[in-house]
């Protein structure tokens, strides 16, 4: 499906806004993860503003696509995308990680309409997405299931158990998007537990594999469209991303995996993102 250049430009501006939201949320909370949420802003923008069939004002709409976030620690990007899509008011973003807030440090199913799963323990979302996809397939449901996983959580055996089950049951209604940013909390993934060649591993497990630039919104959309034409197996989209994308002093530094910016750093980050937004608008 051809996406007009004007639509891509609008989505790029939304992704930039979401990155600014993430910085503001994290500095206000004083805790949380920076690198992953920033690098997945383009993916979540493409999902919430183009790919997913959903109704923000009817979060339990039966025919909605299901989005399962396995790596719950990157939830600020999901919260910001949901907010900008119309699920809840903008002022709610400032309550991230506060006692009683619907925006907990990891998503909680009962706290926020539009969240499909409680996530925290890594890899559990993989199994949840497979179970939901199997249920949908048994019911001949029209909706699809999208699971978002980090690369680091592939250290967990549960991911591969879920992957085997999905392939065995030919869950062609299931798409995983893997944030291949090459970092985790203790360092670079290839130092902690080498994952390459990740695409070959998935092919060996019986999945259709698509590799993309995770910051190219057109590639993200095209990959999601391609998954709808795969009939005999599940699909994994390996999205190559730069951790901390958009903030120069955070990019490619694993140390920013699990910490927020302080006030001075947040100011610098927001100035950089606002400058980038101006360039996007003028192009």
Q: What is the pLDDT of residue 247?
A: 97
Q: What is the pLDDT of residue 153?
A: 96
CA 238 to chain centre: 12
- With beta carbons less than 8 A apart as the criterion, state whether 173 and 137 touch: yes
- CA–CA–CA angle 251, 219, 25 (5° rounding): 40
Q: How many residues are there in the chain?
A: 283
pLDDT of residue 278: 66
Domain assignments of the chain as residue spans, ordered by start: 5-282
**Residue 79's CB: how many other CB atoms inside 10 A?**
29
Tens-level pLDDT at each residue, the chain (283 residues): 568 889 999 999 999 999 999 999 999 999 999 999 999 999 999 999 999 999 999 999 999 999 999 999 999 999 999 999 999 999 999 999 999 999 999 999 999 999 999 998 899 999 999 999 999 999 999 999 999 999 999 999 999 999 999 999 999 999 999 999 999 999 999 999 999 999 999 999 999 999 999 999 999 999 999 999 999 999 999 999 999 999 999 999 999 999 999 999 999 999 999 997 766 766 6
How far does Cα 178 stand from its chain's mean position?
8
Q: Which two tokens stand for residue 32?
A: 């949380």
Quote the CA–CA distance of 144 and 137 in Å, as a whole number.
9
| Residue 1 pLDDT | 58
| 5-282 maps to CATH 3.40.50.970 | yes
For residue 6, what are the β-bridge partners?
none
CB neighbours of residue 258 within 10 Å: 16
Residue 120: what pLDDT?
82
pLDDT of residue 51: 98
Three state DSSP letters for 96-144: CCCCCCCCCCCCCCCCCCCCCCCCCCCCHHHHHHHHHHHHHHHCCCCCC
pLDDT of residue 282: 60
CA nearest neighbour of 176 among 199, 140, 145? 145
Q: What angle do CA 116, 119, 122 make, to 5 degrees?
A: 135
Long-range pairs for 106-113: beta carbons < 8 A, 24 or more residues apart: 106/72, 106/73, 106/75, 107/69, 107/72, 107/75, 107/78, 112/79, 112/82, 112/87, 112/88, 113/59, 113/60, 113/87
Indicate the pTM of the whole model. Answer: 0.95
> What does the alpha-carbon distance between residue 18 and residue 280 come to, in Å, rounded to a whole number?
14
């Amino acid at each position: 499906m051809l996406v007009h250049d004007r639509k891509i430009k609008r989505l790029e501006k939304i992704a930039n806004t979401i990155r600014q939201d993430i910085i503001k949320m994290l500095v206000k909370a004083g805790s949380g993860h920076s690198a992953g949420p920033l690098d997945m802003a383009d993916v979540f923008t493409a999902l919430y503003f183009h790919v997913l069939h959903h109704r923000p004002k009817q979060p339990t709409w039966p025919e909605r696509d299901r989005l399962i976030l396995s790596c719950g620690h990157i939830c600020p990007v999901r919260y910001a995308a949901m907010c900008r899509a119309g699920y809840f008011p903008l002022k709610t973003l400032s309550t991230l990680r506060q006692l009683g807030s619907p925006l907990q440090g990891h998503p909680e199913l009962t706290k926020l309409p539009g969240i499909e799963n409680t996530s925290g323990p890594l890899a559990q979302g993989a199994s949840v997405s497979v179970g939901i996809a199997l249920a949908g397939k048994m019911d001949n449901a029209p909706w699809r299931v999208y699971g978002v996983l980090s690369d680091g959580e592939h250290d967990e055996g549960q991911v591969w158990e879920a992957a085997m089950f999905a392939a065995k049951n030919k869950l062609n209604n299931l798409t995983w998007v893997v944030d291949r940013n090459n970092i985790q909390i203790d360092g670079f993934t290839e130092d902690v537990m080498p994952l390459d060649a990740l695409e070959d591993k998935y092919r060996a497990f019986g999945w259709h594999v698509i590799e993309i630039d995770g910051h190219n919104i057109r590639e993200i959309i095209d990959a999601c469209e391609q998954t709808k034409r795969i009939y005999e197996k599940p699909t994994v989209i390996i999205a190559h991303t730069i951790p901390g994308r958009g903030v120069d002093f955070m990019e490619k530094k694993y140390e920013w995996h699990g910490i927020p910016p302080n006030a001075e750093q947040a100011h610098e980050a927001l100035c950089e993102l606002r400058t980038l937004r101006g360039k996007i608008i003028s192009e």
